[in-house]
A and B are shown apart, each in its own frame.
Chain A
Amino acid sequence: MFESLTTRISGAFSSLRTRGKLSSSDIQATCADIRLALLEADVAQSVVEDFVATIEEKSLAALLTLQSGTNQASAIFEIVNKELVEILGGSARRVRLAKNPPTVIMLAGLQGAGKTTLAGKLAKFYADQGNTPLLIASDLARPNAVTQLQVVGDSIGVPVFAPELGSGTGDPVKVARDGIAFAKAKLYNMVIVDTAGRLGIDEDLMKQARDIRDVVMPDEILFVVDAMIGQDAVRTAQAFLDGVGFDGVVLTKLDGDARGGAALSITSLTKRPIMFASTGEKLTDFDIFYPDRMASRILGMGDVATLAEQAKKAFNPETSAKLEKKFENGEDFTLEDFLEQLEAMSKMGSMSKMLSMLPGAGAMKKQLDNFDESELVRTKSIVQSMTPIERRDPKVLNGGRRARIALGSGRKVSDVNSLVERFSAAQKMMKQVRNGGMPPAMSGMGMPAMPKGPTKSAPQKKKSKSGNPAKRALEEGQ
């Protein structure tokens, strides 16, 4: 998601960066670009206008205190980044656990937002952390929603309280009430209540949701919303806020290519944070929502933090420690390490998804979309056909060895050659990354299209009190 917004905003900034010194009309032009990009990303007009007005005002102020064009562009970039993070909800908030268990989480949202799937993902997320969740099937409207929840519950080993078959029969409020009593009796420490999808304007169904809320007394009501939703996001979110109320938002289908501007509209208008994001069809495709990471993504800075975290999950700690050491000591990365990584990578999910989190990935969107996932398997088979010595030192690979590897892996010699070539290129790149360093916060300086100059100033920035060059510049100016 957000690719197009990313491309646009990065575009606006790269034109800013090429100027020696910026004028207020440069700022206005950039703001106009940002305005259009946000509107195209389905952000509500009122939110866009407020956002752009803030950016413009702060940028013009920064313009007065900073002299060089490059510094000005960076400062403006930081301003946009900071404002985005703020609108997206500041720092990530976690679910408030109840003092006296069970912690009750109730899900609400439009039809087709993905509540039932999300209930399963949420249950798995908390079960994996050592909780004992219970799912309550209170969606008795949609045919077989109950069965769906049962199948999901079975697959993750989480019990489902489902006394009613649903499909239009049974009282969802009673199911919810009995479910809570059951959870208390059986000492489950967490309850997730799935409810029927409803329209914001359907007062009867809204009342039913309120009735469920009143009997389960949730610690958190999560509003589940499809990342692809358009301008209706504002009306629907408001209707749910007024109708049942909610404490947090869950964005689903973030693995699509929607620009997801609704996220901005909803958080900005309801002042409720986005707490979780759902990013795929598998029950593990789910994570806590990080506003700062999303802002980085919008601005084309990639989402290195998430990538690192996923890698941590997939790679076993020993291997990672070994690699890290190698990396620090400046040792060469071998094909053996490469194979281990390939294996860990296949655990992490699709390659294109991971690559899309890298800085500058926005520009490679087309290539990423057409990434052939089976390439990974082919590459693996080639490396697996090598002897340990060959894996450690690819330089020994003469013609004969290459022919043998090709035969063993069922590939052509040219495939083996191109792998070896690409591998040495990758080795070189690793060295570059090591020497260049990769700042964890990926400040504006990390932008791929940035001129070389400011890279040096990055460490200094981190030492500053605010971490925000614009703000600091303002302070210094005063």
Chain B
Amino acid sequence: MGIFTKFLSKIKGQSTLSNSDWEELYGELLASDLGPNFSRALIDEAKKSKGENPEEDLHRILLSQLSRQSRETIRAASGPTTILIVGVNGTGKTTSVAKLAALFQSRGSKVLLAAGDTFRAAAVEQLRTWGDRLGIEVVSGKENGDPASVAFDSAHAALNKCVDYLLIDTAGRLHNKNDLMAELGKVKRVIEKVLPINEVLLVIDATTGHNAIAQARIFTESIGVTGIILTKLDGSARGGVALAIEKEIGVPIKWIGTGESQTDFSPFDSESYIRALTQM
């Protein structure tokens, strides 16, 4: 249910809104995980812009909150493009790695996967199962082994095998655990001894509330996130938190996950995101 779904039928044909209309709209923004302060600011801005059509006004205002940075994948000038996938537990990192790999592969690129989640039981097997399905090689180490060593090996393998993309999965970690964040820093440093990392993609679950902003902020501060993968957009969550992240942290959403199948994955498109947020 989009922000306007209920709302639009009510205000159809009106060019000015009453205070209770605005409050209702505020409630809808809140229900989209935009948060009280951001929602209030949006309403204030919408009130000021005395356009013909409040719906179009808000659409434009929401759109203007999104990042203007490029959403294209940052490619390596030469050699493999190296992408590190990070995020908190259960957001869908491993699935996103597989989907991204499938997408690059379908564009004719050669991909290598690294099973850097050595912590969670059977995470390595989960990625290997995906690798088998897609016919993509997976570099892995021992369970409970050092993720940095897997990453290091995979970087060498990527160079030797002349792949176009190296996608490195990592274990889920809560951003408030300093030791685990430090471990991620080590993984990054070790890879960079072999290959420069082109992208660090943070996977965020669209059902997440305000905490997603803290996730984006802390991951960005600790390892320099270059883009976000927003997953589980096929549910009832509106994923409004993506807007709040782009506004507050400035890291662009690059990909969205919209289902369980490997093809349920696409580049983020600002226009259709805002449309879905407001009208679906």
* A and B form one complex: yes
**B125 to chain A: which residues have CB within 8 Å?**
143-144, 147
A112 touching B91, Cβ below 8 Å: yes
Stretch at the interface among B28-36, B68-76, B189-197: B28-36
Minimum CB–CB distance from A138 to chain B (whole Å) comes to: 16
Task: Report which residue of B27, B90, B175 has the largest number of chain A beta carbons within 10 angstroms of its beta carbon.
Answer: B90
Contact across chains for A231 and B89 when beta carbons are under 8 A apart: no
Interface residues of A in 180-202 (CB under 8 A from B): 199-201
Give the chain B neighbours of A362 by CB distance below 8 A: none
The answer, yes or no, to whether B179 is at the interface (CB within 8 Å) is yes
Q: Does A228 contact B (CB under 8 A)?
A: yes
Kindly state the interface size class of chain B when it binds its partner.
Answer: 35 or more
On whether the beta carbons of B235 and A201 are closer than 8 Å, the reply is yes
Instruction: Tell me the smallest distance from the CB of B118 to a CB of chain A, in Å.
Output: 12
Question: How many angstroms from the CA of A230 to the CA of B235 in the assembled complex?
Answer: 13
Task: State A143–B98 Cα separation when bound (angstroms).
Answer: 11
Residues of B within 8 A of A151 (CB): 121-122, 143
Min distance, Cβ B192 to any Cβ of chain A, angstroms: 25
Q: Which of A13-45 contact B (CB under 8 A)?
A: 36, 39-42, 44-45
Contact of B207 among A36, A40, A110, A373 (CB under 8 A): A110
Are the CB atoms of A228 and B211 closer together than 8 Å?
yes
Q: Is the CB of A41 within 8 A of B176?
A: no
User: Distance (Å) between the CB of B180 and the closest chain A CB?
Assistant: 9
Asked whether any CB of chain A lies closer than 8 Å to the CB of B2, the reply is no
Q: Is B31 a contact of A369 with CB atoms below 8 Å?
A: no
Q: Is A253 a contact partner of B237 (Cβ separation < 8 A)?
A: no
Chain B residues with CB under 8 Å of A461's CB are none
The answer, yes or no, to whether A113 is at the interface (CB within 8 Å) is yes
Q: Is A319 positioned at the interface, with any CB of B under 8 Å from its CB?
A: no
Tell whether B234 is near chain A: CB-to-CB under 8 Å. yes
**B210 located at the interface, meaning its Cβ lies under 8 Å from any Cβ of chain A in the complex:** yes
Task: Give the distance to chain A from B134, nearest Cβ to Cβ, in Å.
Answer: 12
What is the interface of chain B mostly: helix, strand, loop, or mixed? loop
Find out whether the CB atom of A236 lies under 8 angstroms from the CB atom of B210.
no
Bound Cα distance A259, B210 (Å): 8
Q: Quick one: which of B92, B174, B207, B211 contacts A255, CB cutoff 8 A? A: B174
The verdict on A232 contacting chain B, using a C-beta distance below 8 Å, is yes
Q: Number of A residues contacting the other chain (C-beta, 8 Å)?
A: 51
Among A36, A42, A148, A236, contact of B236 (Cβ-Cβ < 8 Å) = A236
Q: Is the CB of B235 within 8 A of A200?
A: yes
Q: Is the CB of B210 within 8 A of A230?
A: yes
Q: Which of B27, B120, B176 contacts A369 (CB 8 A)?
A: B176
- Given A142-B126, A231-B30, also A256-B176 (CB < 8 A): yes
Assess whether B209 is interfacial by the CB under 8 Å rule.
yes
Residue of A141, A149, A253, A261 ringed by the most chain B CB atoms within 10 A: A253
Establish whether residues A231 and B32, one from each chain, have CB atoms under 8 Å apart when the complex forms: yes
| Bitwise interface map of A from 222 to 255 toward B, beta carbon under 8 Å scored 1, else 0 | 0000101111110110010000000000000101
Q: Does B241 contact A (CB under 8 A)?
A: yes
* A230 and B241 within 8 A (CB): yes
User: Which residue of the partner chain A has the closest CB to B33?
Assistant: A230
Question: Are A253 and B174 in contact, with the CB atoms below 8 A?
Answer: yes
Asked if residues B209 and A42 are in contact (CB atoms below 8 Å), the reply is: yes
> What are 24 sample pairs from A and B whose C-beta atoms fall under 8 A apart?
A42-B211, A45-B31, A110-B235, A112-B232, A117-B120, A142-B126, A144-B129, A145-B122, A201-B235, A226-B205, A226-B208, A229-B207, A229-B208, A231-B237, A231-B238, A232-B207, A232-B237, A236-B237, A253-B88, A256-B174, A257-B175, A258-B214, A259-B211, A281-B89
**Which 3 residue pairs are nearest across A and B when measured between Cβ atoms?**
A230-B209, A112-B90, A42-B209
Q: A42-B33, A144-B126, A257-B176 are in contact. List 11 more A-B contacts (CB 8 A).
A: A112-B89, A199-B232, A201-B236, A228-B88, A228-B205, A228-B209, A229-B208, A230-B211, A232-B237, A256-B88, A256-B174
